[in-house]
Amino acid sequence: MRWTLKPVPDFSTVQTLSEQLNVDEIIASLLVQRGITSFEEAKKFFRPSIDDLHDPFLMKDMELAVERINTALQNGENVLVYGDYDVDGTTSVALMSSYLKTLSSQIATYIPDRYNEGYGVSYKGIDYAHDNDISLIIALDCGVKAIEKVAYAKDKGIDFIICDHHRPGDQIPDAVAVLDPKREDCAYPYKELCGCGVGFKLIQALALVRNQSIEELFPYLDLVATAIGADIVPITGENRVLAYYGLKVINANPRVGFRAMLSQVKKATLTITDVVFIIAPRINAAGRMKHGLHAVNLLVEENLETALQFASEIEVYNSDRKDADKSITEEALQQIKKNEEEEQFTTVVYDENWHKGVIGIVASRLTETYYRPTLVFTKSGEKLAASARSVKGFDVYNALDACSDHIEQFGGHKYAAGLTLLEEQYETFKQKFEEVVAGTIDKKLLTPEITIDVPIELEEITPKFYRILKQFAPFGPGNMTPVFMTEGLADTGYGKCVGADDKHLKCAVQKNGITVGAIGFGLGAKQVMISNQNRFKAAFTIDENEWNGTVSLQLKLKDIN
């Protein structure tokens, strides 16, 4: 691990903010690092307000989208809400269809089959719309690159409204409206919405012209918060407001489908991390193992008994997903060991029998192990399909763009993408991808980095300090959980390895007469470093440990040196 200490913020700014807010200088430093330098900005950060949401009509094409939907509703047209099979796509479809169903009974939903149709807008989906006399498709979390498919729909007399957040290509589809804050000609103030977030802006605009209050849209925010967490978009600006209120809904009055999924979970208050690790994998499992429509059905279900039935089916899909993910990861690791070159900058593996639904998770696992840009391929019909994952600081989307001569199609983000190519292109593509990455990556990015916000002493870790720290949530990209560092620590002498295969490290650290409990997941091998009263430094986050009804602060160790 490389430890990188964030630059020390301007001292006078920190001091002034510390005095204005009546907080200690460490808290003030954390705020300044996040671009918060005034009392007013701090108030917006700690007390996100629904009033801070932007006017949806600032988004390019929003008026056209609202006008077309209202025409469809007035004329009793059949409308198809179309979205992808991942968490962002299925929550988007649940959000849009359930809102529109309050205005019309002529609303249908469609999720493409991951295996027969693949990612994004499909010809099969358009044919389904045509066969069912549907004249308007609202596509969510996809569509910004579907030039030919939107043209194909137009020939069949079907209009498209696209709500996407992916980077557009050189050309924008000829749809009635293309809502995407990443369009170069879109002046919308916040660019980092997820697909479900763009969908929410559209229902916000529809509600505005109907004189509905924003409070009436609160019940949809549990879906938006889930998509924000799962899609790893920055939790800054408008996303922070949406995630903050969405978590309130999840914890106070979640939709029936969430209640069904959470019926087995014994947790008082869910954080965004819990949403990412408990709710999102279950929603995703439907699209990975069976069909994304199962997830949509659960998310819009209003009868608890039926929802519990759906949730138990999804639990089975999730269990199958875990098994497939584990076995494929093991096979992929074997393949890498067998074919490893001396100096390799990428991981590219392929097996025609691997389950297409889990190759993205496997790519993430391999990236954790080898820490380099990774592609996992499997057979998909006549072609090969892959999921790409990257390391912090390296844009895998751009790297794929540089290999586009060998690719049929690709799409995605800086750190995660998907692609398809012809089988005969696999070896040349693999070679080209290695060349591109080797030629463009800064070599230090191939060592995992721990970014430390500020150094801290144990006596500064107080209940009051932690109470304020908790108010920095929801955490995520752009506002990560603060990481601290303390030097000159010693173990109290009771440090030991715990868990299966002694994988984890449990200890209590002390300095200057202060002792704090600590747990280091995956750090069991480092137990030797803290034995015999050796001094060491630790990088950690702070959380609470509950044991026998007693709650105490503990350090969650990220690394020790």
Pairing of strands 484-491, 536-547: antiparallel
Closest to 316 (Cα-Cα) out of 354, 277, 275, 288 = 288
pLDDT tens-digit profile of 424-457? Answer: 999 999 999 999 999 999 999 999 999 999 999 9
367-399 burial: b if 16+ Cβ within 10 Å, else e: beebbbbbbbbbebeebbbbbbbbbeebbbbeb
pLDDT tens-digit profile of 177-198? Answer: 999 999 999 999 999 999 999 9
| pLDDT at residue 115 tops 90 | no
Q: Which residue has the tokens 């009546």?
A: 22
- Is residue 278 very low, low, confident or very high in pLDDT (cuts 50, 70, 90)? very high
The answer to whether the beta carbons of residues 482 and 460 sit under 8 Å apart is: no
pLDDT tens-digit profile of 356-401? Answer: 989 999 999 999 999 999 999 999 989 999 999 999 999 999 999 9
Percentage of residues in the chain with pLDDT exceeding 70?
Answer: 100
Bond before 234 cis per omega within 30 degrees: no
Locate the DSSP E strands across 468-528: 484-491, 496-498, 504-511, 514-520
Rounding to the nearest 10 degrees, give the CA dihedral for residues 450, 452, 455, 459.
-80
| pLDDT at residue 342 tops 80 | no
Q: How far apart are the first and last CA of the chain?
A: 10
Report all structural domains of the chain as residue ranges with CATH numbers, in order of start. 2-47+450-560 (2.40.50.460), 56-313 (3.90.1640.30), 340-446 (3.10.310.30)
For residues 337-357, average pLDDT: 90
The answer to whether the beta carbons of residues 453 and 472 sit under 8 Å apart is: no
Question: How far is it, in rounded angstroms, from Cα 239 to Cα 233?
Answer: 8
Mean residue pLDDT across the chain: 95
Pairing of strands 416-422, 409-412: antiparallel
- Is residue 288 very low, low, confident or very high in pLDDT (cuts 50, 70, 90)? confident
Q: Which pTM does this prediction carry?
A: 0.90
Between 158 and 415, the higher pLDDT residue = 158
| pLDDT at residue 264 tops 80 | no
Question: How far is it, in rounded angstroms, from Cα 283 to Cα 261?
Answer: 9
- How many CB atoms are located within 10 Å of the residue 542 CB? 19
| pLDDT at residue 210 tops 90 | yes
- At 195 the pLDDT is 97
The answer to whether the beta carbons of residues 121 and 73 sit under 8 Å apart is: no
The answer to whether the beta carbons of residues 376 and 363 sit under 8 Å apart is: yes
- At 488 the pLDDT is 97
Phi, psi of 232 (to 5 degrees): 50, 45
Question: How far is it, in rounded angstroms, from Cα 399 to Cα 444?
Answer: 17
| pLDDT at residue 114 tops 90 | no
